[in-house]
Amino acid sequence: MEHWKVILKDPESLQLKTISAPEKSAIYKATVKDHWYDNYSDVEFTPIYGHRICAVYNAKNSFGGYVGWKVQTFFIDRDGNFSAPTPTTGDTLSGMHSRGTFYSGMLITTSPCK
């Protein structure tokens, strides 16, 4: 529930429609290595294995109206650590060269819930 308190304007209005069963999955942890000679950074992505969980939710915005059903991807790693990784595509990861797109420690999923 802590995640919802951070991302929602009105966490008390949270409505959960469905929560999926855990599925084996992997996310990636970004490590950014800045260059001293240009404006770009090399980005390494280390896989973290665990389980993905999908939640369909609705909540009120700052105007007091419900925003509509949205899907959120959650991840639990093998050590039991809980996160909500940032969705992206495999194409984004393949460049491995970034300018402000990723930050060190960022958790990324290439298979977000739909």
SS3 13: strand
- Domain presence at residue 13: yes
The pLDDT tens digits for 62-110 are 999 999 999 999 999 999 999 988 887 666 665 555 556 677 788 888 8
Q: What is the pLDDT of residue 40?
A: 61
Does the pTM exceed 0.85? no
SS3 103: coil
- Domain presence at residue 49: yes
pLDDT-above-90 percentage for the chain: 47
- Domain presence at residue 114: no
- Domain presence at residue 102: yes
Q: What is the pLDDT of residue 2?
A: 77
Q: Are 50 and 58 in contact (CB under 8 A)?
A: no
For residue 63, give its domain range: 2-109
Grade residue 61 by pLDDT with cuts at 50, 70 and 90.
very high
The total of structural domains in the chain comes to: 1
Collect all residues with Cβ–Cβ distance below 8 Å to 59 and sequence separation of at least 6.
4, 8, 9, 10, 11, 13, 14, 15, 66, 67
- Domain presence at residue 6: yes
